[in-house]
Amino acid sequence: MSIFPENVSTYGQAIDNLFWLILAFVAFAFFVSLFILIYPLIKYSSKKVNRAEYITGEKKKHFKWITIALVGLLLSDFVILYVEHDTWGEIESVPSKADVRIAIIARQWNWIFVYPGPDGVLGTTDDVTIDEMNSSLHVPINANIVFELRSQDVIHSFFLANTRLKQDALPGRTVIRWFNITKPGKYDISCTQICGILHSKMRNFVLAETPEQYKHFTDSLYNANKPATASN
């Protein structure tokens, strides 16, 4: 059993790997520090020692060990920073190739999904908006899903744990984020920014399907939602 939920995104594994790398540094530092803390309690117990040594620690040769430890800590920090740099850039910037463009809008208390309609462009009259509690956002697998994230009212936060992605939705701003899911399935979307009484119920799904299933879904969706003004 893994300590993380199953990763189904292209970039999720990099985040999990980063965790294990940091854990290696942390575990090492923890056990060394614990030794430095506990061992003297036994070795220098008043039962065994007659008189303490007079060491002020102001001399360089005494402080040397702490300097070494601090440099070690600083170096491991910068190793982490170096390793994570590319992953951060990958997740936080928009990929050049967007296979599907959608909008996700938060409100008290639901995630609203806006599909671009047959023209594939958001903000046109053929957009279809789904605003239903517990509804699913349909997406094709192995495709770059680029979404505009907004909020209608207060701050919410979009969290799709199985892809490791989290992003706050702020009123008055549009943030563009993306994910690419590699495995079909139904995954929880939750809100991670406290937003009121039904914050706990602000749960929807991402339904990742094969491209054929997705095509079938959008075709029937767009057929059922033909704009009244579009005659031909």
Partner 1 sequence: MENLHHKKSFWSKYIFSTDHKTIGIQYMVMGMFMAGVGGYLAYVFRYNLAFPGKSIPFYGMLGAEQYNAFVTIHGMIMVFWVGMPVLLSAFGNFLIPIMIGTDDMAFPTLNALSVQIFFLSAVILIASFFVPGGAFGGGWTMYPPFSAGGYLNHNPDFFKALFSGTSLLILAVALEFVAMLMGGINFLVTTVNKRAKGMTPWKIPVIIWFLNIGAVIFMFSVGPLVAGAFMLLFDNVLGTGFYDPHRGGDPMLWEHLFWFFGHPEVYVLLLPSLGVLAEIVPVFSRKPLFAYKTIIYLALLSAFLSVLVWAHHQFVAGIDPRMATFFSIGTILISIPFAGIFLSYMATLWGGKITMKVPMLWAIGFIGLFLIGGLTGLFLGSNTFDIYAHDTYFVVAHFHYTLFPDIFFGFFAAFYFWFPKFSGKELNPKLGKWHFWLTFIFFNGLFFLLFFNGLAGQHRRINDYSSFSLISREPYQTFEQIATISAIGLILSQFIFLYNFISTLRSNRKSVKNPWESTTLEWLSDSPPPHGNFNPYPVVYRGAYDYSLPDVPEDFTPQNVPNPNNN
Q: Say if residue 60 is exposed, middle or buried (CB neighbours under 10 Å; 0-12, 13-18, 19+).
A: exposed
Which of these segments, 30-38, 44-52, 81-89, 151-159, binds Cu ion (CB under 5 A)?
151-159
Which of these segments, 45-53, 95-103, 111-119, 222-230, binds partner 1 (CB under 8 A)?
45-53
87 close to 11: Cβ distance less than 8 angstroms: yes
Give the nearer residue to partner 1 in terms of CB position, either 192 or 225: 192
The values of phi and psi at residue 200, to 5°, are: -65, -20
Q: Say if residue 205 is exposed, middle or buried (CB neighbours under 10 Å; 0-12, 13-18, 19+).
A: middle
Q: Is 197 in the site for partner 1 (CB under 8 A)?
A: yes
Residue 41 burial (CB count, 10 A) = 8
Residue 187 burial (CB count, 10 A) = 22
100 binds, among Cu ion, partner 1, none (CB under 5 to 8 A by kind): none
Q: Is 91 in the site for Cu ion (CB under 5 A)?
A: no
- Contact positions with Cu ion (CB under 5 A) in 184-223: 191, 195, 202
Provide the minimum distance between the beta carbon of 230 and partner 1 in the complex, in angstroms, as a whole number: 31
Q: Which two tokens stand for residue 200?
A: 């706990």
Q: Is 52 in the site for partner 1 (CB under 8 A)?
A: yes
Q: Is 145 in the site for partner 1 (CB under 8 A)?
A: no
- Name the site residues for Cu ion (rule: CB under 5 A): 156, 191, 195, 202
